[in-house]
Structure 1
């Protein structure tokens, strides 16, 4: 076995003695792995309390009101608005919500308080006049906290919780105009022995005496995330199984993200029997943050479950959140980030392009596009940002943007050709190419190819030859390297006649390989787009042109292709 090496700083090597694995829960008949989430939990936002206390610059009253308003608009029915006994700002915010009647009838405010008499009494002062309120009582219960912080045994910790619950029950009786719900949290539940968590919660339940009509909320916080999400689920299922009078309690989750799995821990906790989740928008909170309710809710949505929260305008939500908290939503943040519906990789772009095309043709409602777990439009995002171009991008992404943003339906064979042009440009720039730059590259490469050939005019008319076959006779005036030419020829159509005329005049030697056309725009603004592919000794080349007349667009596209074949480098 490799020997552990201890140094003054840096990680241990080999056998790690500084840390130990978290002990698993003895639950061999666990049920949660075979369950599915089929309904949304009760959501409680703690942005204004847990989120606010983690900010380098806490929100002022006006910012808290703005964020509270947003939370109500999103559909939160329970909102922890603060710690009114902790500061005058928190107290004033609570009073403004009540005095200015900012709390909708279907929203219940929640306040948190430690199990200390003076803080509990101050909390009730802040709540006077509220129609409904959840009083969230908590105290630390873990062995670590008992040993290091408080120096108390189990019975003393239980006594703290019981005294707090009794005082709250007494004060509730003095405010009959308010409907109260008690919430109790054994802080650091995941680090507390399960039997002790059960013991202290049931002691509080015995004081409160909940009923089916007035349930108690038992909130089981992963105050510090210390184990894998499956262990958290085992803890929740064990607690739910052993809790006395389970039907009179609402089991609530409050996960943090120290190990980066707060969302997964909450999802598994719901499978294990919890009915309620506390968290924050975008995971703001102490250290690595609370569970992100945006991600958690939209994960459910992506599985066909109505989350009962409305994130239809995620851009506005991000702006309000950032303005109030001075925090930034990462560009890679699930669902909400600027780049999460964006593909730079060529193979991904091609798959998305094909998926979007198939989705548009499908008569089914089911979303089925590679790499996109939900339809960006559902949360107020546009398809314009799905594909962005850099040196790693491929032909599919380039073609998708040309069609989705500018209406150009490039022929499939043209995807490769123009994709190479864009890749070279991106390599030269050393970064991402914007949609505007993409169109400019297309314009310069195809639409603005006016040398060495430049068309002055083109006319065609139908004629009957000696064999009584219908042909098209064309005459064109153009310049080549500054010299003027009049060229004539007959062919099966205007394009064929023009190609023959150029070849006969020996201005260029090529054959026509393919032709594509489509309309772009609507109504009086409609224009025709033509794509011509030719073959010369140097290879295959596309040309493209736009005109209000399809014949003119086609002739100009031939000129574009010939000019690109003559001088392909630009």
Structure 2
């Protein structure tokens, strides 16, 4: 029988401890609203004793997100009365408030961090729980650095705080020291004893990723009796981060017989949540990150693309739609094979090409792919046009696809504190179009100028930039998402000139919109060939 596993999301507390990832209270509220859509069971909204701003943010979330009984709101407190009071005051207006107390349990923490005896630390923990219980019925106690603690002392602490009134016990692998087999064994032993003391108390785990095993340790804990998992979106958090919520949830969904457990997470909100966190915190998700990485459902190898097109389960164990994506992404590169190119052409509407015509077009594709990192849909139109022009001895009313697409010719950008401005030259249908604009910054100026040339009223939703190489000639990669008439388009470009890369990414977005417009029409390509 499948057990229900509680999800405790600490993105707004542990996740926000990443340097540079601090959110203001309005951003924290936006994230909390999205976490509610994701249907997490508990949101740890912050550390209210740390600042007035964090206290107010937690309070706001308790009132506006925790106003229904389907979600719990908590915040972190050290085992001192002032911290506990701050948590209580900030979460008390939620329908289901929870006080979360943390105190060290390992010899390292007890002796070196606190400089006290084990008995004294145990007494402090018990008194903290007793005090918290006078304020709220739900209290969680975290035994910090539990994976390095003496087992009998760890159990003695857990037994004492449960008898003092703790309703949830959290066992953290605070520094990511554990490995799955030993951590699973630890949870099994604790669960066995805990359920004999009070089978209503939830046993939770909180794993860090210092050795890259946070998700594996968490899942090992689930297999060995853990009732609740603490995690963050995209695995963000202190140092190397925390166990990633999306990885834990999708592992249980994909391997139900292995884990015999499930969550109530709405998996179709995973990508929306991931993108929101990444955007607001300014933390890019590594491209090969499981579930939420850019390449998680992207395939460029011809062997993989061929297998996927024949049978999705050949290389796909999770449907992209399960996590809120449209579909898998077949990226056309020099490694792509005929099957992937033909499939893309058919999606664009070219369904009646002869074998000879396709081979000629594929030859043009390979030639272009050898000079570009990635071949886009609008590139295929130009390849097709060039092929039929080369094959035609006279004008047969061939469609001039290149007339629809835009090409960056030149740009000039002036960046200053008063009037950042840009001038661009863009070619379309053989004509060079020019425009200039000012903006709030240089990128905004470039995009305003290009938008004026295209006449398309696009809205920039996301803009990301990062280096893909090192040194003075480093390549900068720009990835953007724009919205046009309710549809969203994500494109990217790379160049040593960041402004040029930004402009090229925007031009690619415009050409993606043009591709959709072409796809909707019934256009004659050549004699006997339509799309």
Aligned residues of 2:126 and 2:161 also touching (Cα < 8 A): yes
Aligned residues of 1:394 and 1:419 also touching (Cα < 8 A): no
Change (3 A) 1:51 1:522: closer
Q: How many pairs align? A: 408
Equivalences for residues 26-65 of structure 1 within 5 A: 38-65=2-29
Aligned residues of 2:9 and 2:40 also touching (Cα < 8 A): yes
**TM superposition shift of 1:100:** 5.1
Equivalences for residues 10-25 of structure 1 within 5 A: none
**TM superposition shift of 1:150:** 2.2
Aligned residues of 1:84 and 1:126 also touching (Cα < 8 A): yes
Aligned residues of 2:205 and 2:228 also touching (Cα < 8 A): yes
Which of these residues, 416, 421, 424, is aligned with residue 364 of structure 2?
A: 421
**TM superposition shift of 1:104:** 2.1
Would you say 1:395 and 2:338 are equivalent positions? Answer: yes
Change (3 A) 1:154 1:341: same
Would you say 1:150 and 2:114 are equivalent positions? Answer: yes
**TM superposition shift of 1:331:** 2.5
| Whole-angstrom CA distance in 2 between matches of 1:524 and 1:47 | 42
| Whole-angstrom CA distance in 2 between matches of 1:79 and 1:110 | 6
**TM superposition shift of 1:301:** 2.5
**TM superposition shift of 1:454:** 5.3
Instruction: Provide TM-score, normalisation by structure 1.
Output: 0.66
Structure-2 residue corresponding to 1:281: 233
| Whole-angstrom CA distance in 2 between matches of 1:456 and 1:150 | 84
**Structure 1, unaligned runs of 5 or more:** 1-36, 173-179, 211-215, 356-367, 458-520, 531-543, 549-570
Would you say 1:227 and 2:178 are equivalent positions? Answer: yes
**TM superposition shift of 1:152:** 2.5
Deviates more, 1:369-378 or 1:123-132: 123-132
Would you say 1:256 and 2:197 are equivalent positions? Answer: no
Structure-1 residue corresponding to 2:164: 207
Which of 1 and 2 has greater Rg? 1
Would you say 1:292 and 2:244 are equivalent positions? Answer: yes
| Whole-angstrom CA distance in 2 between matches of 1:423 and 1:187 | 56
Cα RMSD of the aligned pairs, angstroms, is 3.0
Would you say 1:372 and 2:328 are equivalent positions? Answer: no
Structure-2 residue corresponding to 1:104: 68
Structure-1 residue corresponding to 2:150: 193
**TM superposition shift of 1:287:** 0.5
| Whole-angstrom CA distance in 2 between matches of 1:199 and 1:86 | 30
Structure-1 residue corresponding to 2:287: 331
**TM superposition shift of 1:303:** 3.2
Aligned residues of 2:58 and 2:75 also touching (Cα < 8 A): no
User: Which whole-Å deviations, capped at 9, do the CAs of 1:176-206 have from their partners, x for residues lacking one?
Assistant: xxxx311111101111122211110001112
Aligned residues of 2:7 and 2:263 also touching (Cα < 8 A): no
**Structure 2, unaligned runs of 5 or more:** 399-516
Aligned residues of 1:189 and 1:221 also touching (Cα < 8 A): yes
Instruction: Provide TM-score, normalisation by structure 2.
Output: 0.70
**TM superposition shift of 1:169:** 2.5
Structure-1 residue corresponding to 2:465: none
**TM superposition shift of 1:416:** 5.9
Aligned residues of 1:390 and 1:431 also touching (Cα < 8 A): yes
User: Which whole-Å deviations, capped at 9, do the CAs of 1:469-517 have from their partners, x for residues lacking one?
Assistant: xxxxxxxxxxxxxxxxxxxxxxxxxxxxxxxxxxxxxxxxxxxxxxxxx
Q: Name the SS of the counterpart of 2:187 in structure 1.
A: helix
| Whole-angstrom CA distance in 2 between matches of 1:319 and 1:338 | 11
Change (3 A) 1:417 1:102: same
| Whole-angstrom CA distance in 2 between matches of 1:405 and 1:246 | 62
**TM superposition shift of 1:133:** 1.3
